[in-house]
A = this chain, B = another copy of it.
Amino acid sequence: MTEGSGGRIGVGMVGHAFMGAVHSHAWRTAHRFFDLPVTPELAVLGGRDLARTKAAAAKFGWTSVQTDWRELVNSPDVQIVDICTPGDTHCEIAIAALAAGKHVMCEKPLANTVEEAEAMTAAAEAAKERGVRSMVAFNYRRVPAVAYARKLIEAGRLGEIRHVRALYLQDWLSDENAPMTWRLRKETAGSGALGDLGAHIVDATQYLVGDLLSGVSAITNTFVTKRPDESGEQVDDVTVDDAAVFIGRFGNGALATYEATRFALGRKNGMSVEINGSLGSLKFEFESMNELWFFDGANGAEEAGFRRILVTEDTHPYVGAWWPPGHLLGYEHTFTHEVVDFVRAIHTGIDPAPSFADGLQVQRVLGAVESSAANGSAWTEIQA
C-alpha cells in the first residue's frame, strides 16, 4: 500500500528550519489549489530537540512529532518521507525510508558526496521496482517560467543550443563578520556556494537544455576563511567554498558558463539562466520569477526582440490553479508544485523527476568542479 487510507497520504518530514517551513506550507496548500488524487496529511514532524520540534509542529500544522527519525520513517502513519535536513544526513535517512517502503522527497543537493549519492540512487532504483517513488527537490524546475521555458525548448523553438550561461548570486557572506552556520562547514554541508547554489543551476540548465554536461574546468575560492562562530565568542574556520566559477561543454556541443557565489553584493537571490540557440534565445532571472524573456528568431531581424512573457496565463504550467494573469506567484509556489507532481506521480505510478539518478548526476558535476578546481582548473570529464 503506497498511499494512506481514506484518500489521504501521510507525510513525515525530517527537519523544520527554512526548508521545513516552506515544505510544510506546500504540504498544507497543494490540495487547496490543485486537484490531487489523495490529500497529503501532515502526520509526523521529525527534529532532534523535542521542545523545538513541538513548537514547529504547532506552528506548521503537523499532527505529531518524533525526535528519532528512524521512528518517523517506520511510522505506519507515514507513507511519504520528506527530508529537509543538512546534506550529511540525507543518505542514511533516505535509504532507511526507501527500505521501509516509503516514498522519499529529498532536498537538494542529494548528498554531500558522490558516493552517498550513488548509494541513494541504488536504493531508489531498487525501491522503484517495488513501486516506491523518490524525487530530489530541485524546486526551480517548478517555477512556471522555467517549466514553460523547457516546453519551448522541447518544442524546438530555440533550435540547436549553442550557449548556456547560468548564475546564482547571493551576498549574505559579503560581510566578513557574518557568523558561521552549518552551511559553512564541510562536514555538514559538503561544499559551500557550489552545492547550495551551483547544484540548482546545474540541474536547471541540464533540465532546460535536455542534455548533460560532459566536462568542466573550474575555480573555487574562499574569500573569508575565518568567521565568528555562532556563539560570537570564538573564531572558526570556513571549510567550504565561498564561490565557484566554471565553464563546461554539453554533450551536444553547447558552451556553458556557471557562477555560484555568496559574495555578489547586491544580488539577493540572483539565480539566472540564459540559453542561446540557432533559432531563439531565452532568459530567466529568479528575482523576476514570473517573467520569461524569449527572443524568437522567427520574428525576423527588424521586428525581433527579447519578449517579456509574463508567465501568469492559465495555460502556462501550474498557473491555471492560481490567479488571473498578472497576479504574481512567489517562491513557495515552487514547492507546492513539487508536492503536486510528487503526489500525482505516486498515485499514477510513474517516476517523478528529478530522480535520485538525476541528483547523482548533478553531484558528479559538482564533484568534477571540485576536482578541477583542486587540479589547476584542469578539464574534468563527467561520468555519464
| A interface residues with partner B (beta carbon < 8 Å) | 18, 21-22, 24-25, 28-29, 32-33, 59-61, 162-163, 165, 167, 169-172, 174, 176, 217-219, 221, 223, 243, 245-249, 253, 255-257, 259, 261, 263-270, 274, 276-281, 286-290, 292-297, 299, 301-310, 312-313, 315-316, 323-333, 376-379
Q: How far is the CA of A261 from the CA of B261 in the complex (A)?
A: 24
- Closest chain B CB from A82 CB (angstroms): 17
A308 touches B306 (CB 8 A): yes
- Closest chain B CB from A152 CB (angstroms): 8
B28 touches A32 (CB 8 A): yes
Within the complex, which residue of B245, B261, B278, B330 is in contact with A265, where a contact is CB–CB below 8 Å? B278
Given A172-B325, A263-B276, A269-B325, 12 more A-B residue pairs with CB atoms under 8 Å apart are A18-B324, A25-B29, A162-B243, A170-B326, A174-B276, A245-B247, A246-B247, A265-B295, A269-B326, A269-B327, A305-B308, A376-B379
Q: How far is the CA of A28 from the CA of B24 in the complex (A)?
A: 13
Chain B residues within an 8 Å CB radius of A18: 323-324
Q: How far is the CA of A304 from the CA of B266 in the complex (A)?
A: 8
- 30 cross-chain CB contacts under 8 A: A18-B323, A18-B324, A25-B32, A162-B261, A162-B263, A165-B167, A174-B278, A176-B278, A217-B217, A246-B247, A247-B257, A247-B377, A263-B276, A264-B276, A265-B280, A265-B295, A265-B297, A266-B280, A269-B326, A287-B326, A287-B328, A293-B305, A299-B307, A303-B309, A307-B307, A307-B308, A323-B331, A330-B330, A376-B378, A377-B379
Chain B residues within an 8 Å CB radius of A293: 305
Measured CB to CB, the nearest residue on chain B to A316 is: B302
A303 with B312: in contact, given A162-B263, A257-B257 (CB under 8 Å)?
Answer: no
Chain B residues within an 8 Å CB radius of A266: 276, 280-281, 295, 297, 304-306
Chain B residues within an 8 Å CB radius of A259: 163, 165, 255, 257
Q: How far is the CA of A219 from the CA of B247 in the complex (A)?
A: 8
Within the complex, which residue of B221, B265, B274, B313 is in contact with A281, where a contact is CB–CB below 8 Å? B265
Chain B residues within an 8 Å CB radius of A29: 25, 28-29
Q: How far is the CA of A270 from the CA of B165 in the complex (A)?
A: 14
Chain B residues within an 8 Å CB radius of A171: 276
B304 touches A307 (CB 8 A): yes
A326 touches B221 (CB 8 A): no
Chain B residues within an 8 Å CB radius of A377: 217, 247, 377-379
B331 touches A329 (CB 8 A): yes
Chain B residues within an 8 Å CB radius of A32: 24-25, 28, 59-61
Chain B residues within an 8 Å CB radius of A249: 219
Within the complex, which residue of B274, B313, B323, B328 is in contact with A302, where a contact is CB–CB below 8 Å? B313
Q: How far is the CA of A277 from the CA of B174 in the complex (A)?
A: 8
Chain B residues within an 8 Å CB radius of A267: 276, 281, 326
Chain B residues within an 8 Å CB radius of A21: 33
Q: How far is the CA of A67 from the CA of B14 in the complex (A)?
A: 42
A270 touches B308 (CB 8 A): no
